[in-house]
Chains A and B, each alone.
Chain A
Amino acid sequence: MRKVVRGFYAIAEAVRLSRPNVIAAYPITPQTEIVENLAEMYANGELGDAEYVTAESEFGAASMVLGASAAGARAFTATSSQGLLLMTEVLYNAAGMRLPIVLVVANRSVSAPLSIWNDIQDSISVRDAGIIQLYVESNQEAHDMLPLAFKVAENRDVLLPFMICVDGFKLTHAYEPVDLLDQETVDKFLPPYEPAVKLDVNSPVAMGCYAPPPYYMEFRVAMECAMERASRVMLEEFERWYELTGRNWGGHVVAENCEDAEVVVVAMGSVVALVREVVNRMREGGKKVGLLKIRTYRPFPSEDVRKALENAGKVIVIERALSIGAEPPVTADVKSAIFGLDAEVYPVVMGLGGRDIPRELVEKVIDDVMEGKVKPEKRFEGLNEFEEVIP
């Protein structure tokens, strides 16, 4: 059913349709409305047998979904920014324990200075945890990826947490037309969760053991293997999703106009829509520009990125997070993916803390690179004149 809804509702509705057993939640802007919507569904008896618990903190919420998942439940939580940072210790732990929890991150900048507005510093900061990360461009994509996230995470070849990253406000609070799924479709795609192991008095297992040096490394490398398999499993499920719903979200990346492009713009999340608009318009003007949308950030689709950028002489990476003191995060991954290719990479940091990314700015960024006006090094665009105050 096609309806104009806000992002948080599209997300909450998809969570409901995925039939979770346990939802643990804690409010933080701009995620709050997701769990508020779920709370309302719970209050109205629309969540079936699911239990909805309000935690004392995000740390507690993450720990509760960890415990619930270990007991064999399908478990969900959502957060943003500080909340995600507070969850971090638990999330690393859940990944190491191979618990297939699903969480939505409504992307928001991190403090200080305090800012409730959007960038992707929060989720980028936990990229090394062993959690699958997928960045969506629209609320339809967010809606569709929820059942898929559970299915991939729960696959025995994977068993890793799955994080869907949705730009805070820009998507979560935006009104968009969304084809809302129905229960029958979701049930056809997503079977009930059958945990491989669970806490059960009838067959006791110990979970969360400690591993001395002769064992630890194997556990961690096994996570690498699972991530690698996740890459294949995700592609299979993307395909199945397409067959079932007729909506084709592509693979780990979507390359548009890249074959003959002199300049390819790499982007993740909601900014992709804007870049596409600019690229299409420039194409009409005869400029050889392409777009590479990265959907899956972990596992990082190095081969797909390399293939898409094979012919690009120049690559612009739009960065909405920093790794302060080093190359911005996506650039570092892109560079390592195309190592040895003859391409120049232009990291462009923009949109931090909700700073506007106007269309003209994206156009200018591309033009500057095309015309050789800038060097292939880290740049900040949309930055105000400012004087650093050193006390």
Chain B
Amino acid sequence: MNYFGPGHGACPGCGFPIAIRGAIEALDGKVIAVNSTGCLEIVSSMYGRNTWGVPYIHSLFENAGAVAAGIETALKALKRDKEAHVVVFAGDGATFDIGIGTLSGMMDRDHNVIYICYDNEAYQNTGNQQSMATPPGARTTTTPVGKLQPGKIGKKKDMVEIAVAHNIPYAASASIAYPKDFQRKVKRASEFEGSKYIQVHAPCVTGWGIDGKLTVEVARLAVETGLYPLVEYEHGKLVKVRKLKQRKPVEEYLKIQRRFRHLFKHEMGKDILDQLQRIADENAEKYGLDA
């Protein structure tokens, strides 16, 4: 049984299909999938070319949390709640930005939903505009590189912490470079009653300007540099962290992506590079990443 694909139209080397397939497999296909508008939706749900092997619904860009909550509520009312896991697959734009209200409502009411944010760090479907998940320094079409601006100024929002602050039973970050770890987290999430939030780092070939063959490599470097720490919370307690034997300098991750390349030439690039290294160091400190 194919739960997702073949036949989806994602770019060769795109990161998120690994996560979608992995999540549904981890749940043995017992999934009702709720999807927000974005790349995943567009590449998988064209009329007549549905590539989903599980029940699937897409409504809007910013309401996946509430739609999932409604489905879960209906299943409860109809006494069908043992049938399937309600699983959201939403982009970072849908999650960090425009849909944070409905996600917050869902988590606050603690609907029994697994919410998976595939984080490709910008609005990729509409051509790489910045989101609150875009890291500092990244070049997007709305944070372009110019004389006065070295790509995005600002920070990446910490959505995992925001999820944890809702007192939900489970929250974790993951990466498509560690698919076994991701699948374990999805399975673990399914063991809790209530809202679960998993954020999975999933590179975008075109938006990040990477070689499609290097997707997994790039994702792994994000973890190995400390920029994308893999953490796991149960009932608000940090229970697990992926330790790094030898944390790599952030340059190794940045220099192989076109969206960061200007940082090595731009007048203000040095400051951003320092900021990014500082973020990695702070992550290492906060989560005890260094083994």
Contact = CB atoms under 8 A, between A and B. Distances in A.
Interface string A86-101: 0001100100010000
B66 interface: yes
Nearest to B105: A56
Nearest to B85: A201
A97 B67 CA distance: 13
B70 A63 contact: yes
Identify the interface centre among A202, A210, A215: most chain B CB within 10 Å of its CB.
Answer: A210
A264 interface: no
B63 A90 contact: yes
Contact size range, A: 35 or more
Contact of A70 (B57, B60, B109): B57
A202 B74 CA distance: 16
Contacts of A97: 59
A183 to B, nearest CB: 18
B55 A66 contact: no
B5 interface: no
Contacts of A50: 77
Interface in B65-86: 65-80, 83-84
B59 A90 contact: yes
A208 B46 CA distance: 9
Contacts of A72: 74, 78, 80
Nearest to B35: A208
B32 A201 contact: yes
B101 A22 contact: no
A166 interface: no
A340 interface: no
Nearest to A26: B105
Given A63-B70, A67-B67, A201-B30, A212 B59 contact: no
A204 interface: yes
Contacts of B78: 21, 49, 71-73
A387 interface: no
Contacts of B30: 201
Contact size range, B: 35 or more
Interface string A173-201: 00000000000000000000000000111
A249 interface: no
A64 B70 contact: yes
Contacts of B73: 22, 24, 51, 53, 64, 67-68, 73
A345 interface: no
A202 to B, nearest CB: 8
Contacts of B47: 209-212, 215
B56 interface: yes
B5 to A, nearest CB: 13
Identify the interface centre among B29, B50, B53: most chain A CB within 10 Å of its CB.
Answer: B50
B55 A64 contact: no
B70 A209 contact: no
B54 interface: yes
A63 B53 CA distance: 24
A204 B77 contact: no
A208 B71 contact: no
B192 to A, nearest CB: 20
Interface of A: 21-22, 24, 49-51, 53-57, 59-61, 63-73, 75, 89-90, 93, 97, 199-202, 204-212, 215
